[in-house]
Chains A and B, each alone.
Chain A
Amino acid sequence: MFRLLLACFLLFPLWSLAAEAPATQTVRFETVNVYIDSGDHPLAAWQVELKATQGDVKIVGVEGGDHRDLYRDPPYYDPKALTAGRIILASYTTADTAPKGKTLVARVHLRVFGDFRLSITPMAAAGPTGQSIPTTASTANAPTTSTPKDKE
């Protein structure tokens, strides 16, 4: 009994150290939602750049958004522009009623280690007739800096 107590006493500091280690200091998989806000303009085509500005981030999958059936299919990415933590995503719809306002267009699956930060930049967006439209891009569930295209 005494030995057991002694062992617990000796091991407690190690256990408390482990318990205090932040969860972010392990490899984990996270999902980032990508939104595009096209205001009053219908969003028929879009292209954004998402990249990690801080931390060890690797992109491991790209999923479609939730806007009914319009952007449900996973967007395309440019393999040439792909690096471990950077991806250029694009998609389009030929549906008559393209979505307006803030639209969830994609979910990006990430493998991360430690703290990380993302940056998102809308690269292009167009309405149903192909005309360029102003948009902003943002993400949810991940620390992100949204950068307008002009400032990139």
Chain B
Amino acid sequence: MPKPLVYTFIAVICILVMAACSTTKQSANTSAQATVAPSAPTTVSSSWQTQMEAERAATIAALIKDARRYISQNKYPEALATIDQITAVDPTNNYATGVRPLIEERALTQEQRVYRQQYQRNLSKQLNRGQEQQIPHDSIYRYPTNWPAISDDRDRLFMEEQSVGEADHATRIALGKKQPLVRFNGTALDEVIELLRDTSGVQIIPDWEQIERAGIGRKAAIQTRLRDVTLAGVLDEVLRQVSTDPKNPLTYTVDEGVVTITTVADAKNTKRNRLVTRAGEELWIIGRVAAGETQPGDDSPGSGQLAVKELKDGKEQLIPVPLKHTDVKASIAAYISSTTVRQQFYNPYAEKIEAVYVFPLPENAAINEFIMAVGQRKIRGIIREREEAKQLYQEARAQGHVASLLTQERPNVFTQSVANIEPSKQIDIEITYYHTLAYADGWYEWAFPMVVGPRYNPAGSTQGVGAAPRGGKPGITGQATEVQYLKPGERSGHDIGLSVEVNCPAGLEEIRCASHQVNIERPSAGRAIVSIAPSDTLPNKDFVLRYRVAGGQIKSGMLVHRDQKGSYFNLMVYPPMDLRPQDRIPLEMVFLLDVSGSMSGDPINQCKAAMRCALSHMDPHDTFQVITFSGNNRALFDRAQPVTKEATDRAMHFVEDTNAGRGTEMMPAILAALTAPQDEEHKRVVVFLTDGFVGNEDDILRAVHDRLGPARIFSFGVGSSPNRYLMDGLARIGRGAVAYLGLRDSGEDVMRLYFDRVAAPAMTDIAFDFGENMKPSELYPAKKSDLFVGRPIIVAGCFSGELPRQVQVHGRIGGRAVTISVPVDTKCTTNPALAAIWARQKITDLSDEMFMTPNRAQELVLLVKQTALDHGLMSQYTAFIAVDSSQRTVGDHGISVAVPVVMPEGVKYETTVPEK
């Protein structure tokens, strides 16, 4: 109730009370006259005052009682109004003044809860409408109130009858879905299959060997027009048309959820079950209503809006998201990769939206091309200063133009925003980047990250990357960047396709992918085409491809590019052959083990396996310490201990007994590892095992730089999607090396290679001699790292003058001077990627320098910005913007929808994503 009204009400009450008192007084006087002698006037006045006080106290007591009742009933607005009444009667009332803030807080919380529920309801409704858009029928289905039970029973019985697996069952349902209209006008068979695959989402794989053996070509023409026929019916018709042999026509089988098209004879031989579309597949639909008959805002269960979530495989809920598919195509030549990532944004909702997607790319990616595709039209994005690009994007968004903006949040985390996507419309974004491949222990490695892991941000941090539950209110984490995660049991339709072409003229000895199921084609000895298998398209882990070049020994080399804008080179130096294990100085090994919530489960088990190997491989002359960290850190020993059986046994138990949980306070652990007292006989080496899921990477790297001293850091990125920016940065600034321990890697193997690395002396004091005629400039990294066994160094630079035939690399191994000759390919001087790679390396170097010389930060920011703008590169201070100014969409810009992502494989949602 508004306060003025309350006051008026109180005033009226007071008048009435006074009138009543007056009546009472008169009555009392009359009574007194009748029974007792008249009292003195002062006594009457005092009695009246006492009565007034009593009335007032009674009123307040009644109001307090009311207020308490309202509070107990959670009716806070009413309680507040009552408190106001008390205050009006007695402004200094202790109860009112004391309880008021509490009620106000509760009222606010209640209000927020109501808003949150409202928001969730609206979102649910939005999702409902979106799902409906995806149902290939014009009508809306109405289901009985107990449809989930009916559906479950039906599914169970069906599966029992057919004895099919869950994957097959899901495929069966998809095959039973009616297609509104299918029209092929002389379309080739392979295109038809591709089209059906894309539109239905069913994995349809033609067995071309069998099909072609049956005399049917890939280009066999299909001519048909079908309406409201199930996908199975369409397939039947298509296969009937192309079948040439009536005794052995084409058919399809379903196995493990995959529809394979083959001949009847082959299907019999391989004993695959012919899938028969069951009549009455949609028996559970009991009626249809015309659009609009469903009551808007009716959220009660069973009201007919099935499309909230669709059960998939009987287990997972399919959540419509505005990102349909990501397609990655990469080509590798020498040790340089060019990759194009195509993201297909699609609006599954009934209203216009802005899609916002936070996604990872390699931390050393030189992103120099950005294209937005609107239908058949392609618009090349323009590089701008970040703030300017953001402003342009906001203006275009406000005016209804389709626009896209790509910003960098971390060197390996980016945000893609696409504005004004109309319902059922698709906007594609193409991003192209170059980078050099990692090389370690005989293997080249090409990695593509697919998901940003959930980061922990220390208290007080606001510039981190926050992890939020799907549908969470924007800004809920309080961090500058937020990633929303699907909850356990939820699945979005977003999947990924990936293909890498490896070209290696010297020949490929071996090629393998430990992270994913892949198909590998080998058109020639020096070429391989690797593509992700259709059964492994969930974007929840890094794709890691490793290959070995034939001939064993990799040679150092220098690549060169020249054009009118400048001359660039990229030099890769491999360790010399004689960098072999020999007596080394004693080490103090500090094992720093991340046992935070994100490491819970498979990652911590991998760490334990690696630690078991490490503890049994230490040299008797070494000393060691084990520190675990999560919310706080815990050291096994007071100080590093000699390697004895007793000490290693104790460490083994310590590690085995460790459980992962809680936050990731990495900074105190780093400081503890680097600043502990140290004896001069042992050189400190920090072995750091973590997934790197923290949002304060720059603070960590700065601390490492400030406190490193003579120590070295060897970082091990653990898990399916480690934070490679942090892991690589730790090794780079920690003057050590990085290794990755995936969930399918052997912890023992990875740790054994580490011991090989530290067992051999590094080649130090590296210097380059480019000859007299070549004038190199701006070499990056400017600070030369040491050359470890199994690990090359890569240096990018500019130059002028004439190229030498070879470059001399000088250094020292264990006090002995060593020179390596690196041949220069002077014939091939066209490799435009080198300019972008050089600029990207320069930006990395300048960013590192910001940690080291904070007083030059402003100047360095300008340098980074200028380098990025000159080379059209993505950076922290630049962004790509693309606007389709040729047309405006109708209405306002609609709601902003974050694309929720799946949790990285092996990482638990419960221990990493705060629900509040």
A interface residue numbers (CB < 8 A to B):
27-31, 58-64, 72-77, 79-80, 82, 87, 107, 109-111
- Contact across chains for A29 and B380 when beta carbons are under 8 A apart: no
A87 to chain B, nearest CB (A): 8
- Contact across chains for B869 and A75 when beta carbons are under 8 A apart: no
- Contact across chains for B395 and A111 when beta carbons are under 8 A apart: yes
B1 to chain A, nearest CB (A): 30
Contact flag A27-B371 (CB < 8 Å), given A62-B379, A109-B886: no
A-B contact pairs, 17 of them (CB 8 A): A27-B399, A29-B395, A60-B881, A60-B882, A61-B380, A61-B881, A63-B378, A63-B379, A72-B378, A73-B378, A77-B872, A79-B872, A80-B869, A87-B382, A111-B392, A111-B396, A111-B883
CA–CA, A27 and B392, complex, Å: 10
Q: Specify which of B382, B395, B565 lies most central, judged by the most chain A CB atoms within 10 Å of its CB.
A: B382
- Contact across chains for B870 and A80 when beta carbons are under 8 A apart: yes
CA–CA, A23 and B371, complex, Å: 30
Which of under 10, 10 to 19, 20 to 34, or 35 or more describes the interface residues of B?
Answer: 20 to 34
Contact flag A29-B371 (CB < 8 Å), given A58-B392, A59-B382: no
Cβ of B372 within 8 Å of any chain A Cβ, yes or no, is yes
Nearest 4 pairs between A and B by C-beta?
A79-B872, A29-B885, A74-B380, A60-B883
Proximity string of chain B (376-411) to chain A, C-beta cutoff 8 Å, 1 when within and 0 when not: 111111110000100010011001010100000000
CA–CA, A60 and B378, complex, Å: 13
B interface residue numbers (CB < 8 A to A):
371-372, 376-383, 388, 392, 395-396, 399, 401, 403, 565, 869-873, 881-886
CA–CA, A96 and B284, complex, Å: 60
**List of A residues within 8 angstroms of B885 by Cβ:** 29-31, 60-61, 109-111
**List of B residues within 8 angstroms of A109 by Cβ:** 379, 882-886
Residue in A closest to B886 when the chains form the complex, CB atoms:
A31
**List of B residues within 8 angstroms of A76 by Cβ:** 380
CA–CA, A6 and B583, complex, Å: 99
CA–CA, A109 and B625, complex, Å: 61
B204 to chain A, nearest CB (A): 29
CA–CA, A75 and B245, complex, Å: 51
**List of B residues within 8 angstroms of A63 by Cβ:** 377-380
CA–CA, A80 and B396, complex, Å: 25
B582 to chain A, nearest CB (A): 49
**List of A residues within 8 angstroms of B882 by Cβ:** 60-61, 109
- Contact across chains for A74 and B378 when beta carbons are under 8 A apart: yes
Chain B binding site: helix, strand, loop or mixed by DSSP?
strand
Q: Specify which of B381, B403, B885 lies most central, judged by the most chain A CB atoms within 10 Å of its CB.
A: B885
CA–CA, A72 and B872, complex, Å: 22
- Contact across chains for A79 and B869 when beta carbons are under 8 A apart: yes
Contact flag A61-B381 (CB < 8 Å), given A31-B885, A111-B883: yes
Residue in A closest to B403 when the chains form the complex, CB atoms:
A60
A50 to chain B, nearest CB (A): 13
CA–CA, A63 and B403, complex, Å: 13
CA–CA, A111 and B403, complex, Å: 12
B798 to chain A, nearest CB (A): 14
**List of B residues within 8 angstroms of A29 by Cβ:** 395-396, 399, 401, 883, 885
**List of A residues within 8 angstroms of B881 by Cβ:** 60-61
- Contact across chains for A75 and B382 when beta carbons are under 8 A apart: no
B154 to chain A, nearest CB (A): 50
CA–CA, A103 and B93, complex, Å: 85
Residue in A closest to B873 when the chains form the complex, CB atoms:
A79
**List of A residues within 8 angstroms of B371 by Cβ:** 74
- Contact across chains for B869 and A60 when beta carbons are under 8 A apart: no
- Contact across chains for A60 and B396 when beta carbons are under 8 A apart: yes
**List of B residues within 8 angstroms of A31 by Cβ:** 885-886
**List of A residues within 8 angstroms of B883 by Cβ:** 29, 60-61, 109, 111
CA–CA, A35 and B224, complex, Å: 42
A74 to chain B, nearest CB (A): 4
CA–CA, A73 and B371, complex, Å: 10
CA–CA, A124 and B381, complex, Å: 23
Question: Which of A27, A30, A62, A64 is in CB contact (< 8 Å) with B382?
Answer: A62
Question: Which of B378, B392, B871, B886 is in CB contact (< 8 Å) with A79?
Answer: B871
Residue in B closest to A76 when the chains form the complex, CB atoms:
B380
Besides A59-B382, A63-B377, A80-B565, 13 more A-B contacts (Cβ < 8 Å) are A29-B399, A31-B886, A61-B372, A61-B382, A63-B378, A64-B378, A74-B379, A75-B380, A77-B382, A79-B383, A79-B869, A82-B872, A109-B886
- Contact across chains for A82 and B383 when beta carbons are under 8 A apart: yes
A122 to chain B, nearest CB (A): 18
CA–CA, A77 and B882, complex, Å: 14
B82 to chain A, nearest CB (A): 39
